[in-house]
Amino acid sequence: MAQDENKAFLKRVALFSGLTDSQIERLAAGSVRRSFPKGRTIVAEGEPSQSLYVLLSGRAKVQRSDTEGKEVILAVLGPGECFGEMSLIDDAPRSASVITIESCDFMSINKESFKAILLSSPEICMRIMKGLVKRLREADKKIETLALLDVYGRVARVLLDFSEQVGNDRVVRNKLPRQEIAKMIGASREMVSRVMKGLEVEGYIVPMPEGKLMLREKLSNYLSASSPCSSSWCWSATTRAIPAGRMPSSRARPAISAAGSGPGSPISCCTCSACPRTCSRCS
């Protein structure tokens, strides 16, 4: 009975579509269906690998942490996505932890069954390779984001990546805690809160019920590293001169060091109310 259910689930997984009945049967024989509540670790970074996993429902984060416990979120996985294949392929320890952020149903497929399928199906090998290439492309994009965009651009990128088109609008449907955004972009939770508030005040994002967010089209302006703010006194550059009589309001200027008080002098912390952007030093 459980075996039949496993077969039915595996047939619905895109990665395994096109497998023959006997191949699915072999895979199902080495599979177990599991359910975990929110906050449970499915795969632990550094541990040896035994299984490949397929998410059937719910979402899980892929995360790495350093010896001091600081964490970075590499990806958020959703239904239909596989994980745990990397260490099965190269026999190295798990490259990251995978932790549920909602209650999740998933299939766990043992190493031997997965390897047997890889050896018997060039098509599955090709799909696994495509999945790895997709991940590399996403990692390249993330490196670009971290290296070239300021903190507003990084937050904008996360919001846009997690949004979907609903009619004429882009909407982030699933609640995205600020702490999680911070872990994706290498910023503090406080900084993310400040940026989100700025984006909201300036009408780049509109909070909706149940933690959803509507994104205005102009938010994508932040994705261009070279997009200068049109405001003549924008402080997103550290050494921008401030035209006389154009000092930003105190709301737009949470903290300015003495060093940043004169035209053309370096500014250590500010937020432009027009973009709104932080100076490049404090981002």
195 binds ligand CMP per the rule CB under 6 A: no
Instruction: Identify the helix (H) or strand (E) that includes residue 192.
Output: helix 189-201
**Residues 112-151 interacting with ligand CMP (rule: CB under 6 A):** 135, 139
Q: Is 189 exposed, middle or buried (0-12, 13-18, 19+ CB in 10 A)?
A: middle
Q: Indicate the residue among 15 and 267 with the shorter CB distance to ligand CMP.
A: 15
How far, in Å, are 52, 202, 277 from residue 150 at the CA level? 37, 17, 8
Q: Are 231 and 275 in contact (CB under 8 A)?
A: yes
**Residues 244-273 interacting with ligand CMP (rule: CB under 6 A):** none
96 binds ligand CMP per the rule CB under 6 A: yes
Number of residues that bind ligand CMP (CB under 6 A): 16
Instruction: Identify the helix (H) or strand (E) that includes residue 34.
Output: strand 31-36
Q: Is 166 exposed, middle or buried (0-12, 13-18, 19+ CB in 10 A)?
A: exposed
Compute the least distance from the CB of residue 43 to ligand CMP, in Å. 5
The residue range among 77-85, 149-157, 188-196, 267-275 that interacts with ligand CMP, by the rule CB under 6 A, is 77-85
The residue range among 19-27, 81-89, 182-190, 242-250 that interacts with ligand CMP, by the rule CB under 6 A, is 81-89
Compute the least distance from the CB of residue 96 to ligand CMP, in Å. 4
- Tell me which amino acid residue 96 is: A
Compute the least distance from the CB of residue 140 to ligand CMP, in Å. 11
87 binds ligand CMP per the rule CB under 6 A: yes
Compute the least distance from the CB of residue 80 to ligand CMP, in Å. 14
Q: Are 210 and 175 in contact (CB under 8 A)?
A: yes
Q: How many Å apart are CA 9 and CA 3, to the nearest integer?
A: 10
Q: How many Å apart are CA 221 and CA 156, to the nearest integer?
A: 9
**Residues 33-62 interacting with ligand CMP (rule: CB under 6 A):** 43, 49, 62
Among 94, 170, 178, 240, binds ligand CMP (CB under 6 A): 94
Instruction: Identify the helix (H) or strand (E) that includes residue 178.
Output: helix 178-185
Q: How many Å apart are CA 242 and CA 248, to the nearest integer?
A: 9
86 binds ligand CMP per the rule CB under 6 A: yes
74 binds ligand CMP per the rule CB under 6 A: yes
The residue range among 19-27, 94-102, 103-111, 177-185 that interacts with ligand CMP, by the rule CB under 6 A, is 94-102
C-beta neighbour count of 218 within 10 angstroms: 11
Compute the least distance from the CB of residue 164 to ligand CMP, in Å. 19
Binding residues (CB under 6 A) for ligand CMP: these are 43, 49, 62, 74-75, 83-87, 94-96, 98, 135, 139
